[in-house]
Structure 1
Amino acid sequence: MNDQELAKKIIELIGGSENIHSVEHCATRLRIITVEKEKINADEIAKLDKVKGSFFNSGQFQIILGTGLVNKIYAEVMKLLDGNIQNKTSVKKEGNRFQRAVRIFGDIFVPIIPVLVATGLFMGLRSLLTQEAVLGLVGLTPESVPKELLLFTQVLTDTAFAFLPALICWSTFRVFGGSPVLGIVIGLMLVNPGLPNAYEVGQNLAEPLVFFGFIKVLGYQGSVLPAFIIGIVGSKIEKFLRTKIPNSLDLILTPFLTLLSSITLALFIIGPIFHQIEILVLHGVEFLLELPFGLGGLLYGSFSQLLGIFGIHHIISFLEINMLTQTGWNTLNPISPGNVAQAGAALAVAIKASSRQLKQIAYPSSFSAALGITEPAVFGVTLPLVRPFIMSMIGGGVGGFLASILHLKATGMALTAIPGILLYLNNQLPLYILVNVVAFSVAFILTYTIGYQNSMEKKIHK
């Protein structure tokens, strides 16, 4: 079955194009909001070639396809739909307010994550290539590296975070029905070179502008929350103006008034308030992660896997982005070895299972989890069996505890398990490998010894 055939079959089993309200995708899953949930034939979808599983969460039917493939199937689905998607007013609201808010949060940040992942990899590579031992292999020292080369690496590593507000405003405008190009411009205004640079202000190298004697105005390089809020407000302003301004003046007045009102609110009200809230949130998270005796890592490592199941893991992206832009490091990534723990638990099930069918699911799921993609293992193996999932939580907790004790820090985000090595290409790499080996081993041993029995196989219905 080729990609087009698979996309066509998915649309058919969803209930046809008339039952599809909207289609999005994240790194591994096709996420579909339907008009009528009852029309979905989930059992047949799960049997499709290349489909690794499916589930309903936060008002979305999510089909697990895996990295790379999900992008291709999404493109084919959109081609087949060709704009024949139901109007948003025709679909009932799925889930409670919190679930809908989390879904919107994911829709905004998921398109941005690949750029930040690439930036994190560039940071890791720069850290590796500028180490004295590595430079010595080509007869160089850190002092002899050409300035032009260092500038080139800075372009690769600094651009995405320097202009992050533009990315966030663009995506927020897109999700809330505004004109994305206006979102980009508003985001660029937040980091206009004419404003005092946020990093320089933070290092006391520059002073913020002071308006009316008490409002401090500065750029928002690397800031997340102010850009997110002004993206919501700006898109709503634009939509309101389009209902009030005559068509003959819309092209001129709507963009003008949207940009003027949005940047005024951003610089004088929303920016100062929400930047402080952003800092408080970051300090609160850092406080929890710095609890004594590795307690923060133990708790987060144990329970972080539940975030994905409940569909609220994209909230963590906000925190990770904040950490990277404010401190240059990500301390949440290393205390999240749950993916490799899932690999250990799934492998134990695969080895011990008597059912050939379960083995065929568990072996590739374990390999997928070792590459950082846990949905096949979670929804196809460990969660239905319950106890293996609990063992993976314990393994993740032990790994998170160890990472916290060792003070591991990542240079980027989103990559975990084996691909996560790219975020630790410095003197932390041996410690990162140790943490993941421990998490994998604990989950594997516990699952193999007390977490799985062949009598549990009837819990998985295929």
Structure 2
Amino acid sequence: MSENRRIAEELIEAVGGKENIASVAHCATRLRIMVNNKESIDQQRVEEIDKVKGAFYNSGQYQIIFGTGTVNRIHDEVVQLGVSESTKGEQKQEAAKQGNNFQRVIRTFGDVFVPIIPVLVATGLFMGVRGLLMQEQILSLFGLTADNVPENFILFTQVLTDTAFAFLPALIAWSAFRVFGGSPVIGIVLGLMLVSPSLPNAWAVAENPDLAIQFFGFLPVTGYQGSVLPAFIAGFLGAKLEKWIRKRVPEALDLILTPFLTLLIMILLALFVIGPVFHFIENIVMSGTQFILDLPFGISGLIIGGLHQIVVITGVHHIFNFLEIQLLERLSANPFNALITCSIAAQGGAALAVGLKTKVKKLKALALPSSLSAFLGITEPAIFGVNLRYGKPFIMGLVGGAAGAFFAALVGLAGTGMAITVIPGTLLYLNEQILFYLLANVIAVGVAFALTWSFGYSDKMKEEVEKG
């Protein structure tokens, strides 16, 4: 018996047998099964089958991710075993009658981000290592200072740490096109346009808003470096637009007109509609944050620690770099760093609780590295791959962040620099603040971990979310 035939047999049995399968179809990466009773699906058993990269119930379809090439072979084996075949379009018509809208949105958001999580985890590790190595205390051990570190070494570390986030919109747009039925190659080109070197760099504009290009005298245009939600929206709309155009152009002109019109219309929308809207939002977030930081009695910690990771989801959080620079210039200290450190550590604590509590091997393999990435300062893997996907862990992370930041604000924690948090950020508090800094992080991680372990996650909850 071939390996694929064995996998097909195990899969049929795990979803409740042939009698529970109405029809089967597949797309480029997923086997799509219409089931008669979703309660008969053994989710854990499916995820443990060889070659399965993930599985979830979405809008009436049970979708198992196998990947390009593999899915075709598994589909053929399933059909040969006597399961009825249907087209993807027929399945969509049936699926439209089922499902929970909110859960479908969350799962779809997760579908877009899960494929790019490994590179974000790797980047988080690279950033953590660089942050540690470039601190004066560490450099002094090698007889070096920040001024005499070899330029080639700095360039090498920048390639490792900056690439994924500089081109994050391209990764997101590629994945969004893939999920929403567009051509991934058009998505990645659209994403690359959003971070074109011809546009002002978003990080530079965050430090100096005057660098933004003003179109028509009032529309600020800048690059999308580090953006999340704007790139997601551009990818979603672009995929829908491509399919709409493809249905209406003559077949003989499809190869020329469809990508041309899709890219032209979407870059115009991205630069002149989506971008300016989020630029306006950034200004509001910046002004509001500066006001909140001045609030007394730890209130600033409760608000910023509790809400910062929601801002991270929108992708406008890079404006905080400018705020931190202003704080360092004005106060020679950075209280904002201490507050966001707690919010970041808490998301790591929530993901750690999921990773340790779940019995699902693939979720454990995703959650534990994602929590480590958060403890090194990068929360996107933990948020999009684990916490937000299952809802409650993310909320528990927000509560933990608020608790830790409340303590940090009460004791007046303020870093001596910026750009590093949690474990690497310890080097910004190597003075009389170090014990308070460690305690604030312990509070944030401990509260988020305890709440997630007790109330925020169970494998049963996971099954309910994925079954819709």
Aligned to 1:323: 317
Aligned to 1:81: 75
| Cα displacement (A) at 1:113 | 2.9
CA distances 1:78-137 after superposition (whole Å, capped 9, x unpaired): 752369786152442443333322222222223233322322222211110011222222
Identity of aligned residues (%): 45
TM (norm. structure 1) is 0.63
| Cα displacement (A) at 1:186 | 1.6
Contact persistence 1:341–1:440 (CA under 8 A): no
Distance 1:152 1:133 in 2: 21
User: Residue 159 of structure 1: which of 148, 157, 163 is its match?
Assistant: 163
Aligned to 1:238: 242
Distance 1:255 1:336 in 2: 39
CA distances 1:387-428 after superposition (whole Å, capped 9, x unpaired): xxx999988875564466556899689xxxxxx74x646346
Distance 2:278 2:25 in 1: 33
| Cα displacement (A) at 1:164 | 2.2
Aligned to 1:350: none
Cα distance, 1:181–1:446 mapped onto 2, change above 3 Å: closer
* 1:54-453 correspondence runs (5 A): 80-81=74-75, 87-88=88-89, 89-93=92-96, 94-204=98-208, 207-277=211-281, 280=284, 293-294=297-298, 318-319=313-314, 321-323=315-317, 327=321, 331=341, 332-336=343-347, 338-339=349-350, 342=353, 372=371, 398-399=403-404, 401-402=406-407, 406=413, 421=423, 424=425, 426-427=427-428, 434-435=439-440, 437-438=442-443
Aligned to 1:356: none
Distance 2:294 2:349 in 1: 19
| Counterpart code for 2:37 | E
Cα distance, 1:21–1:333 mapped onto 2, change above 3 Å: farther
Cα distance, 1:203–1:76 mapped onto 2, change above 3 Å: same
| Cα displacement (A) at 1:242 | 0.9
Distance 2:409 2:161 in 1: 26
Distance 1:251 1:125 in 2: 46
Aligned to 1:38: 37
| Counterpart code for 1:12 | E
Aligned to 1:387: none
Cα distance, 1:156–1:337 mapped onto 2, change above 3 Å: closer
TM (norm. structure 2) is 0.62
| Counterpart code for 1:234 | G
Distance 2:159 2:225 in 1: 15
Secondary structure of the 2:220 match is strand
The number of aligned residues is 390
Secondary structure of the 1:35 match is strand
Contact persistence 1:403–1:435 (CA under 8 A): yes
288-297 or 211-220, larger mean C-alpha shift? 288-297
Distance 1:192 1:230 in 2: 15
Distance 1:446 1:338 in 2: 10
Contact persistence 2:203–2:319 (CA under 8 A): no
Contact persistence 1:301–1:399 (CA under 8 A): yes
CA distances 1:9-36 after superposition (whole Å, capped 9, x unpaired): 24532246765677999xxxxx997523
* 1:4-19 correspondence runs (5 A): 9-15=10-16
Distance 1:300 1:172 in 2: 30
83-92 or 280-289, larger mean C-alpha shift? 280-289
Cα distance, 1:177–1:146 mapped onto 2, change above 3 Å: same
Unaligned runs of 5+ in 1: 26-30, 64-69, 305-312, 347-359, 384-389, 414-419, 453-462
Distance 1:370 1:161 in 2: 21
Contact persistence 1:238–1:255 (CA under 8 A): yes
Considering fraction of residues, name the structure with more helix. Answer: 2
Secondary structure of the 2:153 match is helix
CA distances 1:355-386 after superposition (whole Å, capped 9, x unpaired): xxxxx97xxx9999877499xxx9xxxx9xxx
